[in-house]
Amino acid sequence: MDFDNLSFIFINASLINNFVLAYFLGICPFLGVSGSLATATRMGFAVIFVMLVSSTCAYGIHSLLLMLHAPYLELISFIVVIASAVQLVEMFIKKFSPALFRALGIFLPLITTNCAILALALFQTAKGYSFIECLVFALGAGVGFTIALVLMAGIREKLDLAEIPDTVKGTALAIMVAGILSLTFMGFAGLGG
Amino acid sequence: METTITVKKTFPHGVHPPEAKEETHHLKIRRFPFAPVMILPLSQHTGKPSKAMVREGQEVARGQKIAEADGFVSVALHAPASGIIKRIALAPNPVGRMTPSIYLQPFPASSQEVLEGTPIDPDTASPDEIVKAIQDAGIVGLGGAAFPTHVKLKIPEGKFVDTLIINGVECEPYLTTDHRVMLEQKDDIFMGIRYLMKVTGAQRTIIGIEANKLDAAQELSAAIPAGMPVSVEVFKVKYPQGAEKMLIKALLDREVPSGGLPVDVHTVVVNVATAAEIGRLLPHGRGIMERVITITGPGVAKKGNYWIPIGTPVRYVLEQAGAKDNISLVFLGGPMMGQAVSNLDFPFTKGTSGLVVFTEAETNSKPQKIYPCIHCAYCVDACPMFLNPSQMGILAKKERYEEMAEQYNLFDCFECGACSYVCPSHIPLVQYFRVAKGILREKKAAS
Amino acid sequence: MNQIDLKKLTAPPNPWHMLRSMGGVGIVCALLIVVAFQGTLPRINQNKAEALEKAVFQVLPGTKNRATFRVNPDGACEPFQGEARGQRLVYAGFDENNKLVGIAVEAQGQGFQDVIRLIYGYSPEKQAVIGYQVLESKDTPGLGDKVEKDPHFLANFDNLEVPLAPDGGALQHAIEFVKSGGKQHPWQIEGITGATISSRAIANIMQKSTAEMVPLLTKNLETFQAGQK
Amino acid sequence: MSNHPDAAAKTLDTNEFIKGLWKENPVFIQVLGMCPTLAVTNSVINAITMGLATSFVLIMSNLLVSSLRHVIPKQVRIATYILIIASFVTVADYVIQAVSLDVYKSLGAFIALIVVNCIILGRAEAFASKNSVGNSLLDALGMGVGFTFALLCLGGVREIMGNGTFLGYHVLSAHYQPWIIMILPGGGFFTLGAWLLLFNYLRKRKEKISMQ
Amino acid sequence: MNLTQKTLEIRTSPHILSGMSTDTIMRNVVYALLPVAAFAVYAFGLAAALVISVSTISTVLTEHVLCRLTKKESTIGDWSAAITGLLYGLTLPPGLPLWMVFCGGVIAIALGKFMFGGLGYNPFNPALVGRAVMQAAFPVAITTWHPAFTTDRFYNLPDSTLTLPFMAPVFKAVTTATPLAQMKFDHKIADSYDLAMGFVSGSTGETCAVLILLGGAYLAWRKMMNWRIPAAIFLTVIVLSEFFHYLKPEIYPDSLFMLLSGGLMLGAVFMATDMVASPMTSRGVMIYGALIGILVVVIRLWGGLPEGVMYAILIANAASPHIDRLVQPRVYGTGGVKRKT
């Protein structure tokens, strides 16, 4: 794999086609966890981690199902296997690194049902990425998610102190800010091309 | 002794308000007549109120001790004039709170004669004796804080002082009392320094003066007694250089730790007027009866520096100084930290260093409109404590006081007013911080 | 009723019970999926074939029939049928007289927003690209998607010359990108004002793909001509 | 009595249908299922397809979950629901591919992502597992229609403003200048934000009126 | 004289103020922008005059109307809406249809500022929010440039200017490329003198680097602008672009070109310095400026767009709460005692 291609996959997944800001994936945690910076950062790292795990799983499942000639089981297997894998990893972390578990643990179940994770599996399959490409893609998507989440958290902490008009308060405001962030990320278009 | 004075030192941040000292700094200190009634609050200092030693109807002589210290953080109080104790009752202080006070009616044509007490010799007296004498003389920080001086002179076990700093900075605009004291009471100052060095054990003394008082600096350094380890340092003019922490930073580049005292960095800071008063009173065993106060501002005709007896009501002073008809704002102390008075019957106390009177012309020109914070960072660049007043102001507005204290070091703010002074949005930041501190203290007390 | 339910709720979990119900649901689901898959498979395959045919016919004007070929790693092509996944395929188009019109090639590369996938038709007779269509592009609608619609831009591909050098190993001229109004040679692609990046990306994809594929296709010309059986 | 899940299960309650349309609209009020709401509403046809596909899965899974509610043990219920939902999504996925490949392509992976749409699992867990088949059907219908309606609101605005068309037909002047941002991701956020603003405003006004 | 009847004001200290006022600051920014706007009119004629006035009117009007609608006192007196309007107008191409200019102005205030609570609370520079929405909405119109210094510019308008509301503009007149686009797509570098003096095409207000710098110098001198921000941006851009220019001079332009071309000057001096959306501490603004510089260079050299100043500033705006948090000043007395022995 040449480096250019990998770096393009990374930049594309993290900035140009940011999962949250361009594909609207993971909006729920994006809106839910971006209230405070500390949680946002930890959540971001948890997502990167889960993305890498599930990307690996999805690559395995896809190869296996190709061999079995059973593409119709793909969706179900993705869901089931990713959920179980994350659960296993969670138990593993809990056992071997309680500190890490305390940092990421509470987010892991939340992430498992996150559409960004499933979408990652579906996208990488649709794009026919190789294993290395899959990992880079997962890393890019996770980093992109984290960047969006952290930027959002900073802005929302600032807005906590603002005199927001009543009508705008709540989800509407967060969605609008996400829209502006999404616009700003358009500046990255064409990078690495 | 001829010295060329180099002006380099100062502390980082701070502001440059207009000095407005030129109207009074050249005026010699004059004496002031006794008011018909004097009000002497028992609590003129930080700490426990003094305990009255007189009863109603008793005749007292000028200089007689009329209240004694109640505990260590407390000082004595002396009669500013010979007269009769009319009553002991509650009287208003400038905040409007009522405090127990002694009403003294001077005898008509009461003389300025003062009782002589037991002299304290700086060479033979022990440090503890001097501390006790200072407490008995009723001496508090005359710079404005009114903290009992002897308390900070009592060096705690295990700590030591290498430098005594005499604070002649007088950074508040309008005020020129320290300036005049330095020019007119040089001997008293050096006498005071002798006592202070003895008490603290400091090996050297530095007198810090701002560059707008070069004459004082020159005269003082010329007058340093031979063999005395005293030097004079001149700073660039900047507010609030007179604050202890800023002064230590500017002079020695040491930082008093958050929540700590100057003694933690081996210094003691004493105001120059306090030092002069110690040097003036202790050799005669007397107590404080009067102090130098600057009466100034566009609202008074007879501006100047006066020896005003403690307890003189503001109203009497204003009448004597020729207050104009359209006065609208009167405050005790300088314009940056001074307290506006609501009631002219309030008396001058030991901590009052000035009386500034504004007319309607000044108060009306003050912009009233408060804009939202635009994050211009003027306050961040002004705060001598390197706090973030902007963020704290926003938090205060949302009543997030705990966050202010925990994340933004609210309690390191000493309310110098630099942030409010520079704020282009006219946000009353200092007031916010006072309120926040008050509420947090109450909460802490309640829990 | 209530009592029975309460008993059920308070009863300790029965592993056999759990397994049984999971298994039951699993079987129902499996049935559902298989039925749906089998039921829709012919239709889906037909849709896919139609879509492909449409694209091939469009980039190779005059085509009536097509044949699929696989490009092996050694550069040789052979007729191919079956699962398309993971294979490198080209499509030969034949007119009503069963004469080879050209070969349709898929190519992809990085565009403005994401990967652009396109298909183009190469005519060995004219030694030129004779048609082109964008299969997939996420470039800005109204701006980047001009490369799919702009008639002036599409005209570039009516006869885009890609002749082989005399030795047959490489192209005589690589495809070049010139900006709008600058086209001088038949091997140049003229860009679109305001969509410079997307049109340049197309030119890059075409340049790369033709440089590789045209010599390869020429080598296998006989296979293609014989392809339709 | 009222605590019991099957207490009111005997009768059909049309309120179960109505609530999904407005009062408990999954998108505008509950703010669920944001991902498809934003991602596929750049055209009306996509919005409708997505709405229908989601409704289909919602109805079928609600029916199945509700009819199996006494059989499925509590401990494995979530896993079972996901299994059921994933199956129906797979079915929907194939059906759409069979009907129109173009629509399938423009929806991309978002059809498969219906699996993780919180509305579906939410209804299965919160409603179907506790209510009768009939009421569950009504609930699913209501939610489905409400969801589709919301998607249509977004898709309509975005297609008309962003392209000057509705369902592909030109509804504005031929010289209309499309606001391309509306079919970009940013426009999705802004349109949803604007709708939420409108709903906020209406709710606030209603509260104010009812307070007086 | 009767002191008894005197009502005294009770105020909290400090009793004197520096005299600096938010509206004074804002008004001075407008003053600093006026020469830039005047040059825009001189270079692009009537079209630029119309674009700038419509943009300013639209923002001020929107602010006023929104305040009225929400039953607040109108805040147009603080001049901030006027700045937004002017800045926004100065970033637009001179031939942009006026209805688009107007819509963008409304969006700039409504979405970029009012929604967040008005002055002081906007996390992004409102003018740039308006500009970014316009860029995404009408990518063609907003990148169609008209040549500067045409002979008929004072009495003729480009055909596109007066397009009917919501109708697509027709660009009949000669359009031209900006120096940045020429660099990016043709590797043609414009003359530095022309760039500095504004004898090139571009947005109405971005062309004359000298006037922009003069305006900035005025504001910096009056302490109404944090000079560290443009300084940090310029420094970063100079270092990075010189580095890449050194590596591949035939592809990457030199730093002078990078500084003078496009919206960098206008952005660095007037947009990035928006007090509300930038960090507060001196170290913070350095990081902020460096971030903008890096993003500008990255987007210009490797991005798909010829210009990235707007996006760079917006992203840095989004990052500024974090920068502020990271570089809180060290509070006096909390960093340990410096001991002199």
Q: What is the pLDDT of residues B317-358, one digit of tens each?
A: 998 888 888 888 888 888 999 888 877 888 898 988 899 999
**Which residues share a beta bridge with C132?**
C120
Pairing of strands C77-79, C65-71: antiparallel
Chain A CB within 8 Å of residue E35 CB: no
E213 vs C94, C138, E194, E208, E234, CA distance in Å?
A: 67, 40, 15, 9, 12
Per-residue pLDDT band at E84 (split at 50, 70, 90): very high
Per-residue pLDDT band at A82 (split at 50, 70, 90): confident
Pairing of strands C77-79, C100-110: unpaired
Contact across the interface for C113 and A16, Cβ inside 8 Å? yes
Residue A123 domain-assigned? yes
Omega of the bond prior to B240 within 30 degrees of 0, cis?
A: yes
Contact across the interface for C33 and D91, Cβ inside 8 Å? yes
Q: Which domain holds residue C81?
A: 47-225
**Which residues, 6 or more positions from E216, have their beta carbon under 8 angstroms from its beta carbon?**
E32, E225, E227, E230, E269, E270, E273
Residue D186 domain-assigned? no
Whole-angstrom Cα distance, residue C100 to residue C94? 4
Torsions phi, psi of E106, nearest 5?
A: -60, -45
Domain ranges in chain E are 21-176, 185-326
- Record the tokens describing residue E158, joined without a space: 């480009």
pLDDT, tens only, A134-177? 999 999 999 999 999 999 999 998 898 888 888 888 889 999 99
Contact across the interface for D71 and C21, Cβ inside 8 Å? yes
**Total domain count for chain C?**
1
| Mean pLDDT calculated for residue range B422-438 | 93
What is residue A168's predicted lDDT score, i.e. its pLDDT? Answer: 87
A157, A173, A181 ranked by CB distance to E318: nearest:
A181
User: How far does the CA of residue D113 sit from the closest CA of chain A (Å)?
Assistant: 6
* CB contact burial A143-173 (16+ within 10 A = b; e otherwise): bbbbbbbbbbbbbbbbbebbebbebbeebbb
Which range is least confidently modeled, B95-109, D8-22, D186-200? D8-22
| Mean pLDDT calculated for residue range B201-208 | 93
Per-residue pLDDT band at E91 (split at 50, 70, 90): very high
Chain C CB within 8 Å of residue A165 CB: no
Is C63's pLDDT higher than 50? yes
What is residue C4's predicted lDDT score, i.e. its pLDDT? Answer: 47
pLDDT, tens only, A25-53? 888 778 877 777 878 888 888 889 889 98
Per-residue pLDDT band at C11 (split at 50, 70, 90): low
CB B355 within 8 A of CB B291: no
User: How far does the CA of residue E115 sit from the closest CA of chain A (Å)?
Assistant: 7
First to last CA, chain D: 36
pLDDT, tens only, C109-120? 887 777 888 999
Please list every residue in chain C whose beta carbon sits closer than 8 Å to the beta carbon of residue D184.
Answer: 140-141
DSSP characters over B125-137:
S-HHHHHHHHHHT
Only one residue has tokens 């200048």, namely: D177
Question: What is chain E's mean pLDDT, rounded?
Answer: 88
User: How far does the CA of residue D182 sit from the closest CA of chain E (Å)?
Assistant: 7
With CA atoms as reference, report the closest residue to B379 among B344, B341, B425: B425
Q: How many residue pairs from chains C and E have C-beta atoms closer than 8 A?
A: 18
With CA atoms as reference, report the closest residue to B377 among A180, C206, E283, A135: E283
- Amino acid identity of residue B41, one-letter, is P
C21, C51, C140 ranked by CB distance to D76: nearest:
C21
Residue D195 domain-assigned? no
User: How far does the CA of residue A161 sit from the closest CA of chain B (Å)?
Assistant: 7
For residues E40 and E159, the model is more confident at E40
Is B5's pLDDT higher than 80? no
For residues C16 and C31, the model is more confident at C31
Chain D CB within 8 Å of residue A128 CB: no
Element (H, E) at B307: strand B304-309
**Total domain count for chain A?**
1
Q: What share of chain C is helix, strand, coil (3-state, %, to 5)?
A: 40, 25, 35
Residue C7 domain-assigned? no
Q: Which domain holds residue D104?
A: 15-155
For residues D198 and C184, the model is more confident at D198
For residues B1 and A137, the model is more confident at A137
Residue A145 domain-assigned? yes
What is residue D154's predicted lDDT score, i.e. its pLDDT? Answer: 94
Question: What is chain D's mean pLDDT, rounded?
Answer: 86
With CA atoms as reference, report the closest residue to B155 among B207, B204, B196: B196
Per-residue pLDDT band at D6 (split at 50, 70, 90): very low
Residue D181 domain-assigned? no
Which range is least confidently modeled, B161-165, C198-202, E296-300? C198-202
Nearest residue on chain D to E133, judged by CA atoms? D181
Nearest residue on chain A to D33, judged by CA atoms? A28
Q: Which of E100, E129, E166, E311 to mutate to test the interface with D (most CBs of D within 10 A)?
A: E166
Contact across the interface for E139 and C140, Cβ inside 8 Å? yes
- Amino acid identity of residue D165, one-letter, is T
Is C1's pLDDT higher than 60? no
What is residue A1's predicted lDDT score, i.e. its pLDDT? Answer: 43
CB C180 within 8 A of CB C191: yes
CATH 1.10.3720.10 assigned to B378-446: no
Q: Domain spanning B6-27+118-284: which CATH class is it, in words?
A: alpha beta
Residue C22 domain-assigned? no
Q: Which of B336, B376, B419 to mutate to test the interface with E (most CBs of E within 10 A)?
A: B376
Which chains touch D (3+ CB pairs under 8 A)?
A, C, E
Torsions phi, psi of A33, nearest 5?
A: -100, -5
Residue D163 domain-assigned? no
Is A89's pLDDT higher than 50? yes
With CA atoms as reference, report the closest residue to B395 among E277, E118, A160, E324: A160
Considering chain A, what percentage of its residues have pLDDT values greater than 70?
A: 92
What is residue B269's predicted lDDT score, i.e. its pLDDT? Answer: 95
Is C215's pLDDT higher than 60? yes
Longest dimension (CA), chain E: 85
Residue C62 domain-assigned? yes
Is C108's pLDDT higher than 80? yes
Is C143's pLDDT higher than 80? no
Considering chain A, what percentage of its residues have pLDDT values greater than 90?
A: 32
**Total domain count for chain D?**
1
Per-residue pLDDT band at E339 (split at 50, 70, 90): very low
pLDDT, tens only, E149-198? 888 888 888 888 888 888 888 876 567 778 887 777 777 788 888 888 88
| Mean pLDDT calculated for residue range E263-275 | 93
| Mean pLDDT calculated for residue range A74-82 | 86
- Amino acid identity of residue A98, one-letter, is P
Which chains touch E (3+ CB pairs under 8 A)?
A, B, C, D
Is D11's pLDDT higher than 80? no
User: How far does the CA of residue A31 sit from the closest CA of chain B (Å)?
Assistant: 23
Residue A64 domain-assigned? yes
Only one residue has tokens 């109004």, namely: C181
Question: A74: exposed, middle or buried (C-beta count within 10 Å: 0-12, 13-18, 19+)?
Answer: buried
Is E242's pLDDT higher than 60? yes
Residue D193 domain-assigned? no
Considering chain D, what percentage of its residues have pLDDT values greater than 70?
A: 95
